[in-house]
Each structure stands twice: as C-alpha cells, then as structure tokens.
Amino acid sequence: MTTILLCDDHVVVRAGLLALLGSEPDIEVLGEAGSGEEAVALAAKLGPDVVLMDLQLGAGIDGVEATRRITALPNPPHVLVLTTYDTDADITRAINAGATGYLLKAERPEDLFAAIHSAAQGHTTLSPPVANRVMAQMRGTRPTLTERELDILGQLARGLGNREIARALFISEATVKTHLGRIYDKLGVDTRAGAVSVAKEQRLLPS
C-alpha cells in the first residue's frame, strides 16, 4: 500500500488523478492540495509516502519551491513531479529541489502507477522524453547553465533590465552582469536578445 498526496492547481487534473488512482487497489490518496503552501502543510500533517507535484501552480509558491520545502521536512515523503513540460530548466530545477522523479502528464496510467510505487521506495523514474534530455545533457551536447544562470535567463526573457533582475533575485547589478557575461559565453551570443532566442530554441526556457 502506497499513500499519496496530490498537488495541482487545476480541479480537473486532481479529479483525474483521483479517478485513476482510485482504481488502483494498493494506492491510497490521503489528500489533495490546490497550492504549494497547502501541499507543504498537508505533507507535514498527513505524512504520505509520495507527493504528486505539478510545477505550475498559479498563485503562490511554485512546484519547485514546494518540492524544496517538502523534502526539507523531517522524515520527508518522496516527491514525484508530474507536469506538462520537459524543459531543461524545469527538469534540473525540480531535481535539484529534491524531486525523486519527473513524469509528464501525457504518460500512460500504468506507467504512472509504476512510477509511484518506484518513488515510494526512493527509486527515480523519468519519462522517456525527460530521460532523453537528461542523457543529451550528460553527453555535453548542449551548454550546461548553472541554476543561478537559469534564474537570470528567466528574468531576462521577461524583458527586465539588469537593475530589475538584480532586485528580483536579491543580488547586486554587478553580479547580474557577471552572470550575463557567462551566459553569453555558454550560449555563443553577445546580446540579451540573442540569449533569449537561443534559450528558447534549446528549450532551456519554457515556451
């Protein structure tokens, strides 16, 4: 028997997961959360084996932050990310935040069940497209940006200036420029517009 906590801001998705998981005899859904904050609170209170976590959560903290907080709990559950996108940035951020697995919503139900049971035992499961991207990254095909550089890139794509990026990330403008220089270097460009373009094409950023 594996106990589960659901976290997704969409009612239909939660209902879908409930319906799917309800048909599995050895899976029990302890509760559901519509926001990251709620998920953290319920994870602490209910103590499930696995948390199924969406990354896009609308208002409040996002799935990555929720994952970070949940895995920081005493005796934490395993977090299985279940989302729509296989963007590099999302994948690395989720894994760095402590996620045990990364599944796409398009996955077949049987694979979802299998992944949940694997996750309950701490085993990592990645959807095939995700696994491919991770592999490609291993082979050094594409430039590997650090966590922080991806943060900068994200703000950059919002069209923010250096000062605004600095304020958004609580660092100095000088540091932003340092990171930007390295990003340009890794992406082989020398302007912000070029960086955004390459990042979108390499799927380093959601699009």
Partner DNA sequence: CCGCGCATCAGCCGATCGGATGACCCCGGG
Partner DNA sequence: CCCGGGGTCATCCGATCGGCTGATGCGCGG
Q: Which stretch binds DNA (CB under 7 A): 29-37, 54-62, 129-137, 184-192?
A: 184-192
Please give the size of the binding site for DNA, defined by CB under 7 A: 24
Q: Does 178 bind DNA (CB under 7 A)?
A: yes
40 binds, among a second copy, DNA, none (CB under 5 to 8 A by kind): none
Which DSSP symbol is given to 23?
T
How far, rounded to the nearest angstrom, does the alpha carbon of residue 114 sit from its chain's CA centroid?
A: 20
Query: For residue 87, which phi and psi values (nearest 5 degrees)?
Result: -75, 140
Which DSSP symbol is given to 124?
-
Smallest distance, Å, CB 160 to a second copy? 8
Quick check: helix, strand or coil at residue 196? helix
Quick check: helix, strand or coil at residue 102? strand
Distances in Å between the alpha carbon of 176 and those of 12, 51, 142?
A: 40, 35, 22
Taking the least distance from each CB to DNA, the nearer of 125 and 155 is 155
Residues between 101 and 160 with contacts to a second copy, criterion CB under 8 A: 105-109, 112, 156-160
Dist CA 192 CA 148 (whole Å) = 16
Residue among 140, 55, 62 at smallest CA distance from 91: 55
Q: Does 194 bind a second copy (CB under 8 A)?
A: yes
Q: Does 195 bind a second copy (CB under 8 A)?
A: yes
Binding marks (x or -) toward DNA, 138..157, rule CB under 7 A? Answer: ------x-xxxx--------
Dist CA 52 CA 116 (whole Å) = 8
Q: Does 185 bind a second copy (CB under 8 A)?
A: no
**Which of 71, 184, 202, 203: binder of DNA (CB under 7 A)?**
184
Output the DSSP codes for 39-59.
HHHHHHHH--SEEEE-S--SS
Q: Does 169 bind DNA (CB under 7 A)?
A: yes
Binding site for DNA (CB under 7 A): 144, 146-149, 161-163, 166, 169, 171-175, 177-181, 184, 190-192
The footprint of a second copy (CB under 8 A) covers 9-20, 56, 58, 82, 84, 105-109, 112, 156-161, 189-198, 200-201, 207
